[in-house]
Structures are given as structure tokens and as C-alpha cells.
A and B are shown apart, each in its own frame.
Chain A
Amino acid sequence: MFQFLFKYPSPVFTKGRFVLLSTWPAWLLPVLIAACACGLAMLIRWRQRDAAPKLRSWRAWMLWGMQAVFVALILLLLWQPAITVSALSSQQNMIAVVVDDSRSMAIADSNGKTREAAAIDALENGVLSGLQSRFQTRLYRLGSGVKQTDGLMGIAPVESATHIGNGLKQLAAETADLPIGAILLLSDGGENSTGISADALQALQNRRLPVHTVGFGGLERAHDVELEDVSIAPSTVVNARLTATISLKQHGYAGQKATLTIRDGDKTLAVREITLSSNGTLQTEQVFFSAGGAGAKALRFAVVPLAGEENLSNNAITRPVLVSDAKRRILYVEGEPRWEFKFIRRAEEDDPTVQLVSMLRTSENKIYRQGISDPTELADGFPVRPENLFGYSGIIIGSVAADYFTPLQQELLREYVDRRGGGVLFLGGRSALSDGGWSASSLNELLPTFLPSGRAFQRNSATVELTAEGIDSPITRLLDDPAKNAERWKKLTYLADYQDAGSPKPGSTVLVQMKAGNRRLPLLITQNYGHGRTAIMATGGTWRWQMSEPLGDPSHDLFWQQLSRWLVADSPGPVTASMPVRTLMDEGHVQLSAQVRDQEFQPAADARVTAHIMGPEGTNALIDLAPSRDTPGLYQAEWTAEKPGAYLAEVAAETTGSQPRQLGRDVVTFQREDGIAENFHTEQNRALLEQLASQTGGRYWEPSNLKNLPRDISYSEAGISVRTTNELWNMPIVFFVLLALPIAEWLLRRKWGVV
């Protein structure tokens, strides 16, 4: 129909360029049109007084409009309008037909056939023959790359991954010296990396290759629950509580209940029932669970399959988590014997991952040490040398005045937080914070608040309450459910004393606040400082949570264990190993980096760093990490994981020289997955196919509507193409319009009786 009216097929108009063929100047056309229209208008106006009564109003102008359009059209035709468009010349070009060969094409949701079969059918039923009548065709299979095949028989959906962008880029590069006119891609759009990369599009656009995409596969699964992603910390300590953020999508089960499970081998760590939200929306759930014993684990996050689910292989995701039982040491300096000290020590005794080393000033010149590893530790009081202090992962400062520390020790404390990346927690007390002269000390900038002036420590009661940030924080989580947790905090018994810590600095976070009398004061304030972190717990009276709550209530101990873990968790060891991605999908290439520091926590420029990698099926490799050129203390190596499964890399560093000394070691775990990716996102990715087509100058086609494909595909600027000029003056629609305008005017005049 379109072609009957407009003489040329629609791609000519969408891809072509409008030109005026006449040699007369182009600016003259609009000038003449305007002049004639004005002339007609003047004529009508001049004679309007004498015209028939009906014509004196808007009707006259309507007739003027039709006459003006008529004149303009005739003038336009005089200038010889045309459209130029590039078309591939017949028999001189090739069309690359690329068929997606990945496993997702084996899903049978195209009218009962598999997607692959539907694609082959579409090709056999006219597309290929239509193409071959004018062009040569080359057939390719697409998986993680493109491979040429001879006939349609060799195509079977077995590839484990789909990388459309890379495949097309490879195709463009391989056929650089061939006259490829266009690419026809038959796929379901299931791209296993994140979208089509910019340089793949660039490669196609450089050659002006249009990609015509034909999409196969249902746009939406009718009944399916799919796990999109799981976000979880890669390493943690024994018995710590972990938060896993699970995101999922579902179709067909809106409002129903589903069960999330987290398993480690055959041990179930957590079970949680959730209510599914509406179809197609991304739903995020948080699950808290205990990490369990030490070791490198592969945790499996799954949704129990619901009845009638079409795809069961997208219900589970595994993630590697490393649970370490390395003991972190915290140094606790206390200036006077008090109850808070006793109960904090008791709380930490129950945590096997933290060792609390304490020095207590029992009398003016006596220090009572507990938790020391040998008699010489802290024998001379608070350490003065970096190698003695930096061995601790965290420091707690109790009711100690600032001038108890010499200027050298104060500077060491600052370096401890800033350079070493340790954590310092200041408690409230009789000689603490502003009552201990800390506002005038050089360490004032370490504190997360601006200390007030005047007497701040009061032995009066204060009740506590979580702030909005505190409700989300793992430090203050006494109960898993956030609402119940907030309620629990409100009901906690009062503190024995409190201290005004002042106003929080910008950049600090207040997790708990307290109500003392009618004043609201911050209780627990944290902030990051340099590479480390500092915090204030503005009370010496949380021991009442242990003594005055019922026997067996874990609130006091749990809070202090979690606060201590926060204090030390991110304190780096002498060796910190990392890799950019912990889960490798289909690509085994991995880059391992290690930050190595010496005893004083300065970057160790010349150390010998090796990594021992253990993997599935007995994979065992020992590789050396080379020092980086730009960053001292950074060592890197590249490696490829061949087999899918869970891997563990242990990085060890030692000094070079005649007597090498161990600097430290660290462990990272990662996993390589193969073929799993094809089970996810199995619906047709129409958006990607449409975007690919529109950005390269092609078009998205549906498999049921391929009749015009062989004709439309020839309009392309690639390969060997010719620019044709198609004249528009003899389009049938032009004649119809030229005829229709006067007839319409005559009919109107008849209707108004002014013929």
C-alpha cells in the first residue's frame, strides 16, 4: 500500500536524503510560495466586501488555505524534488547472516519450537533465498565469538556464553577486506556481559555496517522466579553476623510467598520467607545470618522453586565467602579501675576472634596488664615505637587524660589511625574527652565531635535510642528485624552515667543518641579518618545493661563484640590481597594485587611476594607478584583460571636479603563459573536488539514479519553501494493531492452555495 502511494519502499524515505534537483536557487522556492500566498490573500481581501455574504468570514480563509497549498505544491514540483539513498548494488555484495548459537536459544518458547529451530525456519522460508537472489550470503554462528559455518545444518545451540558485541566486533575486523553490505543477526539478545560495548558499536559504525536484528523468544516468562544478584561481603570473621542483599525478579506469582535459603554445603545457614512483589519488578531482600566456623566457603543462595516454574536453573547463585579465625588484638588503655572496664573485658572474652590486651592504672604508678602474650608486652607502659603499637588492630582509650600520653605517643596515635589504618575508640569517663583535656590536645582532630567546654561527665542516668543510621548499622544490631531492634534499644535499661561529647563533625555518623534529663546527646559517633576510623562511646555506664537486664540477656556483650569488630574489621594487616572481581563468569582471567607494608606500616618497596593458588580438580599454582611501577608497595600478577569452581589464593610476603623475614600473609577466595550465565535472563532482550539496530542504521524485525527484509536490507551504505536519486514528482500521491484539492474546494463551495 505504501509503495503503491509513494512509489518507493519506506526505507528510501527513512534512510534517504531529500534534495531539490532543479538548478534554480533553492531559496527562491519559499519566497515564491510566500509571495503567491500573500497575493491570493490580498485578492480575496480586496474582493471580500463584494462577495457573497457567506464568504465574508472564516470560510473565505479556508478556501484561501486550500488554494495556497495547491499553488505551493505546483511550485515545489517545479523545483524537482527527489530523494537520494544508498543501495547495495546487486550481485556485488555479501550479507553476513549471524545466528546465535548459545544455550539460551534451546529454550522452546517460540510457538512450540526452540528459538534455534524458529531462526532456522525463518531463514529457510524465504529470507535466505530472498537475500541470495541479489547478494551472496555468509553464515556465521555466534557464541562467545563468531565462527563461519557452511550450511544451516551445523547450527546447534551449545555455546555456553553469548557476547554479541565482541562477536560483531570480531566479524567487522575479520571481514575488513570483504564487501559486506549488512549484517543480519538472529538472536534472543541474551548478552552475558553488560550490554554491547562502545568499541564494538564504534567498529560497526566505522564501516557503516547496519545490523538488522531479528528477535526470538518470549518477551516475558509466564511463570518464573529468577535470582538476579547476591551482594555479600567477601570475607568475615568467625561467628560474625553477615548481611546478604538478594535481588530477584518474578513473573506470574505476584503476592505469593517464596522461601529464600542460604546453604553452605549441606548445612542450612538461613531460611527466610518473603512475599513476592509485582511482576517484573526488581525486589531486594536482606537476610542476616551467622557465618559459622572458619574456612573458605561457597555459599549457595537459592529460592525454593514454586509450582509450575518454567526455568529452574535460575533459582540459585553461589558466592565465595572467606571466614577467618585470625585473632585481632585490641589495646585497651584505662586510667582508673571502673565497672565498664570489667564488663567490656568479659564481653570480649566470649569472642574468639578478638583478643583484648589491657593496661589499667590501678594506682598512681602501677599498671595492671591483662591479655598480654608475653611478660615484656607493655612492660614499659603505652608503646612509644611504631612496630610495637601498629601490631594492634584497634585501640580503646578509657578514662585517660590526654596528658597521660607524651607528645611522641600522641603523634604515634595519630599515625596509627592515619597511616596504619587502625581504629581508635574513645570512651566517656571522669577524665575522658573534654574532662581529660582532649579538646586542647593535638589529637582533637581524631575525634568525631567538637568537644564542648565545661564539665561534661555526669553520674546521672540516661536512656538510649537508635538514630536512623543506627537502625541500619551492624554495630547496633541486637535483633535481626530492624523494627524490633529499634524497640529493643528503646527498652534497654538506663546508663549509669553519660558524658556530653559535643556536636558531631560533618562526615561523622551518629548511631545512638541518649536522652539525659531533657537533653538529647549523641552517644555513639563514628567517623573515618585517614586510612582508619575513630569513634566515641560517650558513657562509662553500659555495664548496667549486663547487671540490670535479665540473666542471659546478650545485649551488652553483643553490642561490645560488634563494636569491637567494627573497630578492627577494616584495619589492614601488613599484607592485603585483593582482586577486582570475585566471581568470574566464563572468563578465567584474573588480576591479583597485594599491598605489602613493613613493620612500621610504610610501603615495603622490595619484598618477595608469592601467591599460592589452589583450585578445583587439584589445580595448584605458585606465582610471583611483580612490584608495580607507579605505586610502591603494590605487587601484581595475572593468572587464568581454567576450570570452573572455587579457588583460594594465599599471598605471602617476606623481605629480601640474606635472612628473609616474614612480613605477613593474606587470603582471598574467588570462583569461576561456566555456563551458568546462560540460565539467567532467558527472556528475549528486545531492548538490546532494538538499540543495536537503531544505533547502526538497521532495524529490529519480528520473526513473523520478515517479508520485506531482503528488500529493506539492501538500503545500506556499507560494502559496494550506489547512491541513487529517486524523483518524487511522479509519485501517485502527488497526483491524488493535486486532484483532491480543487475537488474539495468545489465541494465546499457547493455546500456553501457559492459556486
Chain B
Amino acid sequence: MTLSQIALVSVAVAGCYVGLRAYQRTADFGFGNDDSPTNIKAEFYWSRLAYHTSMAASSTYGRHSFWGFWGPPWARDYPKADRQFLIAMHRLTRIDGRPTEQVVTLDSDEIFNYPWIYAVQVQLWSFTDAEAKRLREYLLKGGFLMVDDFHGTEDWENFMNGMRQVLPDRPVEDLQSGDEIFHTLYDVDDKMQIPGEQWIRTGRTYEKDGYQPKWRAIRDDKGRIIVAICHNMHLGDAWEWADDPNYPEQFASMAFRVGLDYILYGMTH
């Protein structure tokens, strides 16, 4: 086992002492807890994009009542996934990150202060013209967007509808194993499909008709990745359920590795 795997396992095991159904509570390791002040300044802020849900989507999916979770789709896994990921980032890299996560929107120019953003359930997103313009400028100026947790062909169509509002003519391409983004911090060569928490009950790594994991990206004119797309997988749940005894360690470890690689790519390219 590599040193990082040992570290991850110890983090996961320590998290179990907090309790079984603790998925809304994050363990306190001295680095950020629920009572941490949010006005600490740092170099890196984990920024979750709060988008507007499309009209059609909000009627059917609006109140996501999965497992008693009530909240808008962008807040899926929030805040425990983010918090737990930040603990791993603090432990395993030299990034000066704030221990608590934050939420950013496309309503103001405030988003330009956070060059790395994360969005989930993106089949439900939609943009006004102003929001699409802002996100496009954000990406072309040097911002990085990671999207996660959407499964199947219908989800993909809906995601692309929104994406095409932002970047109308940039091709989406598949990422290969040798791509630089998988080798910034960890060498992630053998990738597997990372399921959400539903694996514990169903034993399936896929949801809907997303049988194969699609690691995709959109690049800018210079070939640098500006949107990293994780289709047919659920990294957020892997981060959130890393401390659950039933959730397999290899999914969680790989999810942390991929996440850290993506962040470091966004901070070096």
C-alpha cells in the first residue's frame, strides 16, 4: 500500500468513530469543524456552483427526496463531501485551503475570485444569457469547472443543453489514461467506475443507463482543459461516504486521488 492509501484508510477508519448515520456531520480533526469561522482567508476555496434549476427539471426533480435529503440539486452531498475532501487536501498536499467550503453563484462577478469550481447533478442546470456569458468568460480567462454526478444518455443531453449555452462550439473529448490531468499529483492509470452511495444497497456501480464511466473534458485554444466532466460516476458520494464502513475503500481512494489531481491541474495549467 502506498503511503497515501494508508493515510486515506486511517482517515476513513477514524471517521467511523463518529457514528453510523453521520452523513451530515463531519469529523473534527482540528482542521475545520461545523463551528469553524468561515471568514478565514486562504489561497484555495472549495467553491460549489449553485446554479438555477431549469423549469422542466424543477417540477420533476425539484425537491430531491432521496434518503430524506431536501434541497436544491446543486447541493447534493453538500457540505460533507466538500468538507471531507478539504480534510484530505490539507493532509495530502501543500495547498493552503480554507477548511470550510463555500457556495458561488453566477449572479455577480464574485465568482472570478475563485478560479476552481465544482458542480453536481448538472443535468438539471440552466443559465440565463447573462449567466452563460459570465461562465464562458470565467472559463476562457483561466477558470476551471469540474462537473460530477450525472448518469445516462438523457442526463447527458440535458447537461449539454446547458453547456452549449456557455461554450457553443468547443468539442467534448474523451480523456485518455496518459493525459496530464491524471498525473499531476497521483498517477491514476487504472480507473474504475466510482458509484454513489447507492452501491451499498444495489451493488451496482452504474445508475440509470450510464453503464460505462465517461471521463471527458473540454479544452481551450491552447489545449488546456477548462471543463472536466465526470459522467456516469459519483465522486461526491465517494468523498462523502469515505468514512462509512460499507462503502468500499478503493472507490473512495480513487475518488480522492482523481479530485486532487483535477485540482492540481487547475492550479498548474
Residues of A bordering B, CB below 8 Å? 335-339, 341-343, 345-346, 349, 360-364, 366, 368, 370, 430, 459-460, 496, 540, 543-544, 546-548, 550-551
Contact = CB atoms under 8 A, between A and B. Distances in A.
A343 B141 CA distance: 10
Contacts of B141: 546-547, 551
Contacts, number: 83
Contact of A459 (B41, B112, B143, B184): B41
6 contacts: A337-B95, A339-B267, A364-B94, A368-B268, A459-B42, A548-B113
Contacts of B268: 337, 341-342, 345, 360, 368, 370
Contacts of B143: 547
Given A336-B43, A337-B267, A368 B94 contact: no
Interface of B: 41-44, 92-96, 109, 112-113, 115, 137-138, 140-143, 184-185, 222, 224, 263-264, 266-269
A342 B185 contact: no
Contacts of A540: 43
Contacts of A547: 112-113, 115, 138, 141-143
A496 B43 CA distance: 9
A338 B142 CA distance: 13
A366 B185 contact: yes
A362 B92 CA distance: 9
Contacts of A548: 109, 112-113
The 9 closest A-B pairs by CB, nearest first: A459-B41, A336-B94, A337-B267, A547-B112, A551-B137, A548-B112, A337-B95, A338-B43, A363-B93
Given A544-B113, A548-B109, A345 B269 contact: yes
Contacts of B140: 551
A337 B264 CA distance: 7
A338 B267 CA distance: 6
A351 to B, nearest CB: 13
Given A338-B267, A543-B115, A349 B94 contact: no
B94 A362 contact: yes
| Interface hub of A336, A342, A360, A366 (most chain B Cβ within 10 A) | A342
A343 B185 CA distance: 19
A165 to B, nearest CB: 61
Nearest to B184: A368
B142 A346 contact: yes
Residue among B94, B96, B142, B185 with max Cβ neighbours from chain A (10 Å): B94
Contacts of A341: 267-268
A458 to B, nearest CB: 9
Nearest to A346: B142
Given A342-B267, A546-B141, A546-B142, A362 B184 contact: yes
Contacts of B184: 362, 368
Contacts of A366: 185
Contact of B95 (A336, A346, A370, A459): A336
Given A341-B268, A362-B93, A546-B141, 14 more contacts: A336-B94, A337-B264, A337-B268, A338-B95, A338-B96, A342-B142, A342-B266, A342-B269, A345-B269, A346-B224, A364-B94, A366-B185, A543-B115, A548-B113
Contacts of A544: 112-113
B185 A362 contact: yes
A568 to B, nearest CB: 22
Contacts of A339: 43, 115, 267
Please classify the interface of chain A as helix (H, G, I), strand (E, B), loop, or mixed, using the class held by over half of its residues: mixed
A376 B96 CA distance: 29
A106 B113 CA distance: 72
A363 B115 contact: no
A346 B142 CA distance: 9
B113 A430 contact: no
Given A336-B43, A337-B268, A368-B268, A361 B94 contact: yes
Nearest to A550: B137
Contacts of B185: 362-363, 366, 368
A544 B115 CA distance: 10
B222 A349 contact: yes
B135 to A, nearest CB: 12
Nearest to A358: B268
A336 B141 CA distance: 22
Contacts of B267: 337-339, 341-342
Nearest to B91: A363
Contact of A337 (B93, B109, B113, B224): B93
Contacts of A459: 41-43
Contacts of B224: 346
A479 to B, nearest CB: 20
B94 A363 contact: yes
A706 to B, nearest CB: 78
Contacts of A370: 268
A341 B268 CA distance: 7
A345 B267 CA distance: 10
A360 B265 CA distance: 12
A337 B109 CA distance: 24
Contact of B264 (A362, A496, A551): A362
A558 to B, nearest CB: 15
A627 to B, nearest CB: 47
Nearest to B3: A365
A337 to B, nearest CB: 4
A77 B96 CA distance: 106
B62 to A, nearest CB: 33
A335 B115 contact: no
A533 B154 CA distance: 60
Nearest to B4: A363
Contacts of B92: 363
B254 to A, nearest CB: 17
A212 to B, nearest CB: 75
Contacts of B96: 336, 338, 430
Nearest to B267: A337
A366 B222 CA distance: 27
Given A345-B268, A370-B268, A547-B113, A335 B94 contact: yes
Contacts of A337: 43-44, 93-95, 263-264, 267-268
A572 B151 CA distance: 58
A119 B41 CA distance: 86
A363 to B, nearest CB: 5
A546 B269 CA distance: 14
Nearest to B261: A362
A551 B115 CA distance: 14
A368 B137 CA distance: 28
A496 B269 CA distance: 19
Contacts of A362: 93-94, 184-185, 264
A723 B184 CA distance: 99
A655 to B, nearest CB: 39
B139 to A, nearest CB: 10
A141 B86 CA distance: 91
A368 B260 CA distance: 13
A257 to B, nearest CB: 41
Nearest to B111: A547
Contacts of A335: 94
Contacts of B115: 339, 342, 543, 547
A349 B112 CA distance: 22
Contacts of A550: 137
Contacts of B41: 459-460
Contacts of A346: 142, 224, 269
Nearest to A548: B112
A723 to B, nearest CB: 90
A317 to B, nearest CB: 41
A461 to B, nearest CB: 10
